[in-house]
């Protein structure tokens, strides 16, 4: 930066000297020498102008980079004088830092929005009165089973059910319930819209959620709160009883002679109390697993191997009850991004459920399918058992609910929680002779 300043100063002195010399030569009528000197004046003047234009050109280039948020261009002090370089570089660094922080904040908020199960669409309209998509999360596209469009003219035709709320003149806070048919499946959705105006731009934030999901969440929260209270109270009561029964057992064994004929009756009673308290503690611990489910440790799992391992575990039971199992994975090297242990537990739970449903069924069969469809990884467990009574289907995933005398009511409820913690969903369809559990994960 010093060089260019010195150059301009030097050229300016030379130019001034040449002008003085030119005036002198003209006054003494040295025409040829005057012409030569004039050419030198023009040449030096050109160099000065060229140097100034270079400074202006580099200044303009850097200002355009800042205006366009292009921070790949580094401001150089070689082509700019200190008076321009220092403030320009300060503006550049300040804007660069702000841009990086702004982009980081945007990415964080986008990740947050993408992590929720509720479908979110944010629309924006400025002075041009045209609608543009500010942001939409994956859940919005998945719920409506449409691509993730970035242009409003492509997305709008897929939102006819919400059209009256999304037209520019109708932007306002709205809460409504809307029936939608998606791929021939009717479902009721909660629709909420929130209008906001920021810096002369209008924003409409749209939330959609299957109404059943909202009900399930509230229901699950209620069950979890109930289980926590019950677990706490039962354990507080039963733990000292268990401790006392152990002490009584020791005292009885130490005083066999003093107890006489009553020894066996007292011993059996204490053992009964001990066994029942232990059973109750185990029972409570089982249900606590629902509320303390660990976060899935997802990995690339070959679904063929997972099904094979699950069937190996249940092989004795399947053989004993003469149940035929057919399974098919397409393609054979299909991989799911899942927690191997948790999903293996879900598969074992579903298969065990099918085994009990096939009691006293002739030609009992279980079919397992794994495939990809509609941008989702799918896993189905199908049996030709007695089916599930329609009046029980609403409660089949509810904790504690079971139709078996020996059932704990934990298997299907735990399975649903595991699938939901993976961001997937599990659905049931059942009739006599055909019961199907369908699991779907996002690819």
Rg (CA), the chain: 39
- Please tell me the distance from the alpha carbon of residue 116 to that of residue 131, in angstroms, as a whole number: 24
pLDDT tens track for 167-192? 888 888 888 878 777 766 667 788 88
**Residue 262, pLDDT score:** 65
Band (194; pLDDT cuts 50, 70, 90): very high
The CATH class given to the 115-210 domain equals alpha beta
**Residue 3, pLDDT score:** 67
- Please tell me the distance from the alpha carbon of residue 418 to that of residue 294, in angstroms, as a whole number: 9
pLDDT tens track for 100-122? 888 888 888 888 888 888 889 99
Q: Is the separation of the CB atoms in 27 and 34 below 8 Å?
A: no
Residue 236 DSSP SS3: helix
Q: Is the separation of the CB atoms in 134 and 120 below 8 Å?
A: no
pLDDT tens track for 356-377? 888 888 888 999 999 998 788 9
Q: Is the separation of the CB atoms in 437 and 350 below 8 Å?
A: yes
Helix 340-357 and helix 411-421, axial crossing angle in degrees, nearest 10: 150
Residue 171: asked if its preceding bond is cis (omega within 30°), the reply is: no
Q: Is the separation of the CB atoms in 204 and 192 below 8 Å?
A: no
**Residue 302, pLDDT score:** 92
Average pLDDT over residues 428-440: 87
End-to-end alpha carbon distance in the chain: 56
pLDDT tens track for 361-417? 888 899 999 999 878 899 999 999 888 877 777 777 776 666 665 555 677 878 888
How much of the chain, in percent, has pLDDT values that exceed 70?
A: 79
| Average per-residue pLDDT for the chain | 80
Band (326; pLDDT cuts 50, 70, 90): very high
Where do the DSSP E strands lie in 355-419? Answer: 365-373, 376-383
pLDDT tens track for 34-93? 888 888 888 888 888 887 787 777 777 777 777 777 776 777 666 677 677 778 778 777
The fold of 299-442 is Heat Shock Protein 90 (3.30.565)
Domain boundaries, the chain: 2-103, 115-210, 215-291, 299-442
């Amino acid at each position: 930066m010093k060089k260019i300043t010195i150059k301009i100063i030097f050229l300016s002195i030379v130019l001034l000297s040449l002008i003085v010399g030119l005036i002198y030569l003209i006054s003494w009528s040295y025409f040829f020498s005057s012409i030569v000197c004039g050419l030198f004046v023009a040449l030096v003047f050109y160099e000065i102008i060229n140097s100034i234009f270079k400074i202006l050109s580099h200044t303009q280039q850097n200002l355009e980079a800042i205006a366009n948020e292009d921070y790949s261009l580094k401001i150089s002090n070689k082509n700019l004088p200190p008076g321009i370089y220092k403030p320009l570089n300060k503006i550049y660094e300040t804007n660069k830092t702000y841009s990086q922080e702004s982009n980081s904040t945007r990415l964080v908020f986008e990740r947050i929005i993408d992590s929720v199960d509720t479908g979110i669409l944010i629309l924006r309209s400025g002075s041009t009165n045209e609608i543009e998509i500010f942001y939409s999360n994956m859940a919005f596209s998945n719920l409506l089973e449409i691509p993730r469009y970035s242009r409003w003219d492509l997305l709008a035709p897929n939102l006819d059910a919400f059209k009256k709320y999304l037209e520019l003149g109708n932007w306002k806070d709205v809460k409504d319930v809307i029936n939608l048919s998606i791929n021939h499946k009717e479902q009721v959705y909660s629709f909420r819209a929130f209008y906001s105006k920021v810096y002369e731009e209008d924003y409409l934030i749209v939330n959609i959620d299957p109404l059943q999901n909202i009900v399930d969440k509230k229901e699950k929260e209620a069950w979890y709160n109930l289980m926590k209270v019950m677990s706490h109270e039962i354990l507080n009561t039963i733990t000292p009883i268990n401790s006392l029964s152990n002490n009584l057992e020791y005292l009885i064994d130490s005083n066999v002679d003093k107890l006489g004929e009553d020894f066996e009756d007292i011993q059996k009673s204490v053992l009964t109390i001990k066994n029942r308290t232990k059973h109750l503690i185990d029972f409570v611990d089982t249900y606590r697993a629902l509320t303390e489910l660990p976060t899935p440790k997802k990995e690339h799992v070959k679904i063929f191997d997972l099904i094979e391992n699950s069937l190996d575990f249940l092989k004795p039971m399947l053989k004993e009850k003469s149940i035929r199992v057919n399974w098919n994975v397409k393609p054979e090297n299909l991989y799911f991004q899942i927690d191997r242990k948790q999903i293996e537990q879900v598969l074992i739970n579903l298969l065990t459920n099918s085994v009990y449903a096939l009691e006293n069924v002739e030609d009992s069969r279980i079919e397992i399918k794994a495939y990809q469809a509609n941008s989702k990884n799918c896993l189905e467990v199908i049996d030709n058992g007695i089916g599930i009574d329609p009046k029980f289907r609403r409660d089949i995933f509810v904790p504690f609910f079971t139709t078996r005398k020996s059932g704990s009511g934990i298997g299907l409820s735990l399975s649903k929680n595991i699938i939901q913690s993976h961001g997937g969903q599990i659905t049931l369809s059942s009739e006599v002779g055909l019961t199907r559990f369908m699991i779907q994960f996002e690819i």
